[in-house]
Amino acid sequence: MTRLDELRRNLAATEERIGAACAAAGRERSDITLVVVTKTYPASDVELLAELGVTDVGENRHPEAGDKAAEVEAPVRWHFLGGLQTNKAGAVARYADVVHSVDRVKLVNALSRGAQAAGRTLTCLVQVDFDATDPGRAGVVPAGVPDLADAIAAAPGLVLGGLMTVAPLGEDPAPHFDHLARLSVSLREQHPDAGIISAGMSGDFEAAIGAGATHLRIGRSILGARPSTG
Ligand SMILES: *Cc1c(COP(=O)(O)O)cnc(C)c1O
CATH number where 109 lies: 3.20.20.10
**Total domains present in the chain:** 1
Residue 127 placed within a domain: yes
Instruction: Judge whether 228 lies within some domain.
Output: no
Pairing of strands 98-102, 56-59: unpaired
| Distance in Å, CA 117 to ligand 1 centroid | 29
Residue 206 above 60 pLDDT?
yes
Question: Is the pLDDT reported for residue 5 higher than 70?
Answer: yes
Sign of CA dihedral 63, 76, 165, 160: positive
Q: What is the mean pLDDT of residues 58-83?
A: 97
Domain assignment of residue 68, yes or no: yes
* Helices 64-71 and 43-51, packing angle to 10 deg: 50
One-letter amino acid at 40 equals: T
**Ligand 1 contacts CB of residue 68 (under 6 A):** no
Largest alpha-carbon pair distance within the chain?
51
Q: Examine residue 182 and state whether it is found in any structural domain, yes or no.
A: yes
Residue 117 falls inside a structural domain: yes
Q: What is the pTM of this model?
A: 0.97
In 121-160, which residue ranges form alpha helices assigned H by DSSP? 145-154
Q: Is the CB of 93 under 6 A from ligand 1?
A: no
Q: How many CA atoms lie within 13 A of 81 on its CB side?
A: 26
**Residue 122, beta-bridge partner list:** 158
Q: Is residue 230 over pLDDT 60?
A: no
| Residue 214 DSSP SS3 | coil
With CA atoms as reference, report the closest residue to 216 among 97, 79, 39. Answer: 79
Bridge partner list, 125:
162
**Atom number in ligand 1 closest to CA 39:** 1
pLDDT at 135: 74
**Is 219 close to ligand 1, i.e. is its CB under 6 Å away?**
yes
pLDDT recorded at residue 229: 54
- Res. 7: pLDDT tops 60: yes
pLDDT band at 132 (very low <50, low <70, confident <90, very high): confident
Q: What is the mean pLDDT of residues 47-75?
A: 98
Q: Answer whether 218 contacts ligand 1 (Cβ < 6 A).
A: yes
Compute the distance between CA of residue 154 and CA of residue 160 in angstroms, rounded to an integer. 9
Residue 206 located in a structural domain: yes
Predicted confidence (pLDDT) at residue 125 exceeds the cutoff of 80 = yes
Domain containing 9 equals: 3-223
What is the per-residue pLDDT for 33?
98
Q: Examine residue 57 and state whether it is found in any structural domain, yes or no.
A: yes
Assigned domain for 230 exists? no
Q: How confident is the model at residue 134 (pLDDT cuts 50, 70, 90)?
A: confident
Cis amide leading into 156 (omega within 30) = no
Ligand 1 centroid to Cα of residue 109, in Å, is 26
Measuring from atom 13 of ligand 1, which residue has the nearest CA? 81
Confidence of residue 136 (pLDDT cuts 50, 70, 90): confident
pLDDT at 138 over 50: yes
- For 116, counting Cβ atoms within 10 Å of its Cβ (0-12 exposed, 13-18 middle, 19+ buried), the class is middle
Cα 222–Cα 225–Cα 228 angle in degrees, nearest 5: 140
**Is the separation of the CB atoms in 226 and 39 below 8 Å?**
yes
Burial zone of 224 (CB within 10 Å; 0-12 exposed, 13-18 middle, 19+ buried): middle
